[in-house]
Amino acid sequence: MPRWFSAGLLLLLTALASAPRGIRADEKADAGMAAPDSAEVLSPAAPETRAEPIHLSAAPDAPVVAPSFSTPPGHVVEESSPEQTTLVLASRPTSAASSLAVQERSFSLRPIASVQDILRVTPGLLMVQHSGGGKANQYFLRGFDADHGTDLALSIDGMPINLVAHAHGQGYADTNFIIPEVVERVEISKGPYFAGQGDFATAGAVNMVSRDDFERSSAGAGFVDSPGHGQAGYRALAIASPKFDSAKATFAAEIGRSNGPFDHPDSWDKYKLWNKVTVPFGAASSVTVGEMSYAGNWNGSGQIPARAVEEGLIGRFGSIDPSEGGNTARHQVFAALKLRPTETSELRLSTYAATYRFNLFSNFTLFLDDPLNGDEIEQIDRRVIYGGKVSYRIMHQLGPVSFDTTIGGEARNDDIHAELWHTRQRQQLSVLRSDDVHESFLAAFINEEITPARWLRLDLGGRVDLLSFAVDSHLDSSNGGVGAAHQGSPKASLVVTPLDSPKATLDFYLNYGHGFHSNDVRGVFAQPSVTPLTRAVGEEFGTRARLWGRWDLAAALWQLDLDNETVWNGDDGTTAVSGATTRRGVEFETRYEVTPWLAADVDLTYTHSQFSRDNENGGGLALAPKTTWAGGLSARHALGPGVARAGLRFFGIGDRPATDDGALVAPGFTEVDLHLGYRHRWFDVAFDVENLLDQAFRSAQFATTSRLPNEPAVGTPIPTGFSCGRSGRLAPGAASGVFYGCQDVDYTPAYPLTLRLFATLFLD
């Protein structure tokens, strides 16, 4: 056990010994402590009493309050009288200092162009886009360059977004199919400490919860433009939320085009539908059915080598291969049942089925392998996904000790056809790989929350996951086969509340857990082979406090060990598995309500990452973030007949190694954004400025070996005076005086100053 973890345990035990009696950890009104797996409050003495969040669509004459940052915590309430003691099933309080839930009221005060901007409310989570907006984002969290989602589990209403054995990368998590306005709440957890979370939930997990309905139906439209660069784009949105006696419904449709600032416009056309109906029955039960559809196609400027811009071959927003881009579609149906058999129990059942299509044209190495046609590839993914999850929760009392038990299980199947082609200007030249893949996941989990005193809570749990898979290679039978893997993952958390008063609350958290991410099962039959499941072991010690009813603080000291590492292979644009890694870091977040209408917040993270068995890579793992920061000011105030709102936000990342030896560096950046808005009974206007300071920095960055068309042919002598540019170096093998390409920092430029205006008209 690490020394820092032992020290944290000693500190926690000291606090435990000195904690006052008669204080219950989960009865505080601490904004910012809500549990990721929350459930609505149920009181046996009255119908369901849910504290509804305040939305921007509330009446403009409603009381103006300071911008809140998260939902109030849940309670496990003990109601006593001389005649009886009654337990009330309610939202679970948080079990880790790094976990929280954030309501729509908070992310509505920042620029929102897509769901990715909503995800930025996650402290320490940084996202960048590369090679056209239609691709999934690149995610950074807790020292992970999680690429498109390998170590970050994303979901919507509990339905997984990450895709296994994806043609472009394991865990590919494209959230572009979600209409941002339908997201009501974001539930955040970090680390592998939670029994209900499985594949990819190593660095963390984020679940978006959709609205059941809107206060008003609406129609909106807007445009986006980077003055002096590229072409303008547009977005249109229609929302219908009919009112019924009991049922709730949302029907939303979005269309739009994004071009970006690029010389070759993205022309990202997108079409989205979101339909959801919830029908209650009984006092606190309901059935939900829904459907979502998305289709998009786009061009991509590619990841351009820094030396190509330095030499003047292309401009900052130019491209080497303008035929890059792709198209994708996702159509999904889902249903959910929430049933309260008794006042202290709850059954939840959800199921989903989806079809998915994906074609992506990329050119990472340019003219390294094929100097005539170029190295463009096409990645094809066709799949059907279906699965579900069930959980049963029950509370009971044994003397002075409360028990809150959850048991559950989940299943998922992916039937996949994936291909890889060598192409030229989107024309197929030769097939490199063609596979049929079937993956099935089965899991069972249990969590026991034990509360022996009001100031002490213990969570004990675990899960068992079983993966079975079959790979059928159409080109080489030796690249296929069948297999299976399983893993047990214990979990434990201890929460102590030494202080709980109207003016101050203080919690200490100690967490330990095992988790995993799955690897692409096609690699199991490759040489060298990869393990199907990669175990992660995490520890965390943290604290949360709320002072004077207006100041929230949280800090966490954590470590995560991974059995093997999925790393980027720039030579062919794929991923490969290498040795075990260790990451440890510190996170700090604070939010302060300056006035009743103005709030400030700051999030800071520092992480050290290295291979566990080779400490010589002192510079850290390639592309692993070392420092990140985010924060800003948020305001909402009555103005005339409506409510004005504003947000000045910043986020950034420090310099980090682009290669494991640290020879190449990916420069850091800070982006500043501005949001202004005004809400009236009949309309809403939002104006955003992205990259307010018009900084010229790099967004996504990779160290890639490539060859430009004007560079020496591979295998020929290196000309005297030849250089790979200020940020590049000759590829391995050049010591013999022979050219094998340039290893350079390839990047997608960040958007320059970009303006976005969106106006909404309310129809009822």
Q: Is the pLDDT of residue 85 over 50?
A: no
Nearest to 439 by CA among 474, 466, 479, 463: 466
Burial 435-450 (b: 16+ CB within 10 A, else e): bebbbbbbbebbbebe
For residue 527, give Cα distances in angstroms to 379, 479, 570, 576: 21, 9, 19, 11
Say if residues 31 and 68 touch (Cβ distance below 8 Å): yes
Q: Is the pLDDT of residue 309 over 90?
A: yes
Q: Give 207's contacts (C-beta < 8 A, 6+ positions apart).
A: 36, 154, 155, 156, 157, 158, 186, 187
User: What local confidence, expressed as pLDDT, does residue 61 receive?
Assistant: 33
For residue 98, give Cα distances in angstroms to 507, 518, 631: 12, 24, 16
Most confident of 15-19, 85-89, 90-94, 152-156: 152-156
Q: Tell me how far apart the alpha carbons of residues 516 and 171 are, in angstroms, rounded to a whole number.
A: 12
Nearest to 118 by CA among 638, 653, 647: 647
DSSP string, 539-563: EEEEEEEEETTTEEEEEEEEEEEES
Output 31 or 186, whichever has higher pLDDT.
186
Say if residues 623 and 658 touch (Cβ distance below 8 Å): yes
Q: Residues 258-279: what's their mean pLDDT?
A: 95
Say if residues 744 and 738 touch (Cβ distance below 8 Å): no
Nearest to 252 by CA among 227, 219, 284, 221: 219
Q: Is 11 exposed, middle or buried (0-12, 13-18, 19+ CB in 10 A)?
A: middle
Nearest to 565 by CA among 575, 574, 556: 575
Query: For residue range 728-763, what is the model confidence (pLDDT) as tens digits?
Result: 999 987 778 899 999 999 999 999 999 999 999 999
Q: Residues 275-281: what's their mean pLDDT?
A: 96
- Chain centre distance of CA 601: 20
Output 700 or 470, whichever has higher pLDDT.
470
Confidence of residue 33 (pLDDT cuts 50, 70, 90): very low
User: What local confidence, expressed as pLDDT, does residue 92 receive?
Assistant: 63
Q: Is the pLDDT of residue 568 over 70?
A: no
Say if residues 357 and 386 touch (Cβ distance below 8 Å): no
Query: For residue range 244-253, what is the model confidence (pLDDT) as tens digits?
Result: 888 999 999 9
For residue 38, what is the enclosing H or E element?
A: none
3-class state of residue 460 by DSSP? strand
Confidence of residue 54 (pLDDT cuts 50, 70, 90): very low
Nearest to 266 by CA among 298, 297, 235, 234: 298
E-only strand ranges, 617-697: 627-639, 642-653, 656-657, 665-666, 669-679, 683-690
Phi and psi torsions of 310, nearest 5°:
-60, -40
β-strand partners of 704: 744
Query: For residue range 406-465, what is the model confidence (pLDDT) as tens digits?
Result: 999 999 999 999 999 999 999 999 999 999 999 999 999 999 999 999 999 999 999 999
Q: Tell me how far apart the alpha carbons of residues 685 and 707 are, in angstroms, rounded to a whole number.
A: 48
Q: Tell me how far apart the alpha carbons of residues 134 and 117 are, in angstroms, rounded to a whole number.
A: 15
What is the second-level CATH architecture of the domain 3-762?
Beta Barrel (2.40)
User: What local confidence, expressed as pLDDT, does residue 148 receive?
Assistant: 87
Q: Residues 355-368: what's their mean pLDDT?
A: 95
Q: Tell me how far apart the alpha carbons of residues 606 and 618 are, in angstroms, rounded to a whole number.
A: 15
Q: Residues 287-311: what's their mean pLDDT?
A: 94
Q: Is the pLDDT of residue 671 over 80?
A: yes
Phi and psi torsions of 104, nearest 5°:
-55, -30
User: What local confidence, expressed as pLDDT, does residue 742 receive?
Assistant: 96
Q: Tell me how far apart the alpha carbons of residues 664 and 744 are, in angstroms, rounded to a whole number.
A: 8
Q: Tell me how far apart the alpha carbons of residues 131 and 377 are, in angstroms, rounded to a whole number.
A: 13
Q: Tell me how far apart the alpha carbons of residues 106 and 120 are, in angstroms, rounded to a whole number.
A: 11
Q: Is the pLDDT of residue 402 over 70?
A: yes
Nearest to 231 by CA among 209, 185, 255, 263: 263
Q: Tell me how far apart the alpha carbons of residues 232 and 13 are, in angstroms, rounded to a whole number.
A: 59
- Among 7-11, 17-21, 51-55, the minimum mean pLDDT is found in 51-55
Peptide bond before 67: cis, by omega within 30 degrees of 0?
no
Q: Residues 277-285: what's their mean pLDDT?
A: 91
- Looking at residue 620, the DSSP 8-state letter turns out to be -
- Among 77-81, 579-583, 746-750, the minimum mean pLDDT is found in 77-81
Q: Tell me how far apart the alpha carbons of residues 443 and 464 are, in angstroms, rounded to a whole number.
A: 5
3-class state of residue 480 by DSSP? coil
Q: Tell me how far apart the alpha carbons of residues 107 and 340 are, in angstroms, rounded to a whole number.
A: 32
Q: Is the pLDDT of residue 131 over 90?
A: no
* Domain map (residue ranges) of the chain: 3-762
Output 528 or 450, whichever has higher pLDDT.
450
Residue with tokens 């056209």: 132
Q: Is the pLDDT of residue 31 over 60?
A: no
Residue with tokens 């939670």: 194
Q: Tell me how far apart the alpha carbons of residues 337 and 349 are, in angstroms, rounded to a whole number.
A: 5
User: What local confidence, expressed as pLDDT, does residue 26 receive?
Assistant: 32
β-strand partners of 577: 566
β-strand partners of 355: 331, 384
Say if residues 600 and 554 touch (Cβ distance below 8 Å): no
Q: Tell me how far apart the alpha carbons of residues 655 and 668 are, in angstroms, rounded to a whole number.
A: 4
Strand pairing category for 152-156 and 204-210: parallel
For residue 546, give Cα distances in angstroms to 29, 557, 590: 9, 19, 10
Q: Give 387's contacts (C-beta < 8 A, 6+ positions apart).
A: 160, 351, 352, 410, 411, 412, 413, 441
Say if residues 368 and 741 touch (Cβ distance below 8 Å): yes
Q: Is the pLDDT of residue 356 over 70?
A: yes
Burial 683-712 (b: 16+ CB within 10 A, else e): ebbbbbbbbbeeeebbbbbbbbbbbbeebb
- Among 70-84, 348-362, 631-645, the minimum mean pLDDT is found in 70-84
Residue type, 551: W
3-class state of residue 333 by DSSP? strand
DSSP string, 90-143: -PPBPSSTT-EEEEHHHHTTS--SSHHHHHTTSTT-EEE--SSTTSPPEEEETT
User: What local confidence, expressed as pLDDT, does residue 732 receive?
Assistant: 82
pTM over 0.85: yes
Q: Is the pLDDT of residue 634 over 80?
A: yes
Region of 425 (left: φ > 0; alpha: ψ -120 to 50; beta: rest) is left
Q: Give 9's contacts (C-beta < 8 A, 6+ positions apart).
A: 510, 541
Q: Is 18 exposed, middle or buried (0-12, 13-18, 19+ CB in 10 A)?
A: exposed
- Looking at residue 203, the DSSP 8-state letter turns out to be S
User: What local confidence, expressed as pLDDT, does residue 145 receive?
Assistant: 86
Query: For residue range 97-123, what is the model confidence (pLDDT) as tens digits?
Result: 898 888 877 887 888 888 989 999 999
Where helices occur in 551-661 by DSSP H, the ranges are: none
- Among 17-26, 336-345, 444-453, the minimum mean pLDDT is found in 17-26
Q: Tell me how far apart the alpha carbons of residues 672 and 542 are, in angstroms, rounded to a whole number.
A: 29
How many helices (H) and strands (E) would you count in the chain? 4, 40
